[in-house]
Copies of this chain bind each other. A is one copy, B any other.
């Protein structure tokens, strides 16, 4: 896609961002935020579904544009300008997802792919009007916080579920919408965002938990599924990968 035409002049480099540049910026930001580790070229390549050389080349380009800090063979970090761009994309993405769920009847597992395309096509004006129409939502359907018009973002204090010690009571705050297994696990066991659960046991990243709050509100659908090999009724086992796709806050 050609460089973005839209909007009114702000940071030059951000104006010239292509679809690819926007996705790289957003992905770097996302990786760094989700689990605080430093971002490597190969992690970026894996997440974006491109080859390592492509990342290398793009990093040079984005360094030239002043969007990333990157000395060869070192980890990758966004510059302040890069973070601005990333936050702008995150805002678009999450507002669009919220709108798709609230007004077009999308399921929370469908919206990510659609938003991934739309985020590059909408104007700044569009985003602002959508924000107003939705009443300035603070989180998206997956619990991810939405940056305000000023791109400010306040995170709740959260941990990766796969790192929570056993016997702790936590509240489900966010799910990674790019991990379908995580979304379907929560759907299956009727654990919505905001539900409280107790971590019964942990096993090298995998966790077993029991719902506390809404848990099994028996909405019309499948009967209390007991598919997993979990013995205790209401006991839920999540694989490491799935537990890595959820963030929780500590209760009490």
- Chain A residues numbered 187-226 whose CB sits less than 8 Å from any CB in chain B: none
Across the interface, name the chain B residue whose C-beta is closest to A18.
Answer: B1
Known contacts: A1-B19, A19-B1. The answer to whether A114 contacts B105 by CB under 8 A is no
Task: Report which of B1, B19, B114, B130 forms a contact with A126, defined as CB distance below 8 A.
Answer: B114
Total interface residues on A, CB under 8 Å, equals 20
Q: How many copies does the complex hold?
A: 2
Residues of A in contact with B (beta carbons under 8 Å apart): 1, 19, 103-106, 110, 113-114, 117-118, 120-123, 125-126, 129-130, 133
In the complex, are the beta carbons of B114 and A122 less than 8 A apart? Answer: yes
10 A-B pairs with the lowest CB-CB distances in the bound complex, closest first = A121-B121, A117-B121, A1-B1, A104-B129, A118-B121, A114-B123, A114-B126, A105-B129, A104-B133, A118-B122
Q: Which chain B residue lies CB-closest to A116?
A: B121
Within the complex, the shortest CB–CB distance from A115 to chain B, in Å, comes to 10
Q: Which of A1, A114, A121, A133 has the most CB of B within 10 A?
A: A121
* 24 A–B contacts from the bound complex (CB under 8 Å): A1-B1, A1-B19, A103-B103, A103-B133, A104-B126, A104-B129, A104-B130, A104-B133, A105-B129, A106-B129, A110-B125, A113-B123, A114-B122, A114-B123, A114-B125, A114-B126, A117-B121, A117-B122, A117-B123, A118-B118, A118-B121, A118-B122, A120-B121, A121-B121
